A and B are shown apart, each in its own frame.
Chain A
């Protein structure tokens, strides 16, 4: 019966028994689902728990995606079990697995302590800038509130940390959720711990590889990546602020619990100097290269030199023959010994003879003489030149280059630059 088939689902659930201490395995259950649109994964788990295997453990609390207790990897993506309905999943089967990067207590239940430890590193708590009793007057369309938006609605479910492929490679990385919270506080004008918090999370931010996995999985549609980029940008802006404010007496907080970070100023100065330094270096390099390319050729001091290419007897009449010339080339600071093939087409009249460069005028490959076809051929892109050096075929833009030459004492000399 088709109907019944539609309503049966195969569910694989990760199992781990802490008293056996094995690697864990998947158990498969067949369950009946009345309506795919109205059945959440949490319902599926509760159903398995109730009807098939009472020893199955999983965590849940509010069932309306407000507490973030039931985050699981469902069909290869981090999701909240209470927010995902079976109809949302494209795959035929359902695979349920605990979150990555957290120790597993039992079955689908993970130990969230590492999450909160990392979370705490980002100083994710408000500390009022000034002691006041009246709530601050802040317009809802002010820049800070528009920046913060709904990012404060994080429910600390751990989906982002599980989806991030960087968190477990970098011990110092406090993870997307923590940085997101730090961002909402950094952007909040009421908060007084900006300096310390910035210096704590900035390092973490550079562990982000802009994979945007966290943004992709967040069940509250918050983008921790945006938060990370915001903090990096903020750090740059602050580093460039013209007048560095020296902390006044009021700015130095006497809260013994949160020691003022002494590194902070030096870090900022370092960042600033580095930015200036790197900027200058890049400008110098780029500028240097461009300048030398533009004016370099006119400044070339390399003297022209006549190089011995061989005895004239070695070059038969009315034929193209090849010879190698050796000379010392001075190109900029770089002195090199060069061996270059040249091609000599000897005619009876010495003045009609030609010495060609073997460099193809297209991209500089070496051309060879094809005796049968009576043409010069370039192997790279199929360029062909006639025996007078003009382009016969292919991409070369101009005829073959020629060398000036002279004959002295029956020997051929070519002029190189």
Chain B
């Protein structure tokens, strides 16, 4: 019998596992996706707060912000899904929609409030 060393594959590394440089190299598209999910959670949270502690300006502002960002990031996916905007402009799209979001927040907050 010849001697055999038992060899085993290591289980796959997961995304970002043992990867000190991953965070700063995460592409902007991934952030867009992640922030849409985070803003969804934020909406639920602030909506609950809004219903219990009615008419606190700070909560109203945060709610407005979450809703707006959730909306513009959702719009991004729709625009990309239906190929209304070519995928290659996705970074510009995120920047543009982000700016639109901020503008909308500013208008609503100063104009209506």
Contact = CB atoms under 8 A, between A and B. Distances in A.
Interface in A101-116: 101-105, 110-111
A381 B57 contact: yes
A105 B57 contact: no
B9 A111 contact: yes
Contacts of A168: 12, 14-15
Interface string A6-27: 0000000010101101011010
Q: Is the interface of B mostly helix, strand, loop or mixed?
A: loop
Interface residues of A, number: 51
B83 interface: yes
Contacts of B83: 229-230, 233
Interface of B: 5-27, 29-30, 32-33, 54-55, 57, 76-77, 80-83, 86-88, 90, 113
A162 B57 CA distance: 44
A358 interface: no
30 contacts: A14-B18, A16-B10, A18-B9, A19-B6, A76-B19, A77-B21, A95-B21, A97-B19, A103-B10, A104-B9, A104-B10, A104-B12, A104-B13, A110-B12, A168-B12, A210-B76, A212-B27, A212-B87, A216-B29, A225-B80, A229-B80, A229-B81, A230-B83, A233-B81, A363-B55, A365-B54, A365-B55, A380-B54, A380-B57, A381-B55
Query: Chain A's interface: helix, strand, loop or mixed, by majority?
Result: loop
Contact of A100 (B13, B20, B33, B87): B13
B62 to A, nearest CB: 16
A233 B82 CA distance: 6
Nearest to A106: B7
Interface of A: 14, 16, 18-19, 21, 23-24, 26, 73, 75-77, 91, 95, 97-105, 110-111, 162-165, 168, 209-213, 215-217, 223, 225-226, 229-230, 232-233, 363, 365, 379-381, 395
B5 A19 contact: yes
Contacts of B77: 210
Closest 3 CB pairs of A and B: A76-B21, A212-B29, A76-B25
Most chain A beta carbons < 10 A, residue from B21, B82, B88, B113: B21
Given A111-B9, A168-B15, A76 B23 contact: yes
Contact of A213 (B8, B20, B30): B30
Contacts of B10: 16, 18, 21, 23-24, 103-104
B5 A211 contact: no
A221 to B, nearest CB: 10
A232 B80 CA distance: 11
Contact of A211 (B8, B16, B30): B30
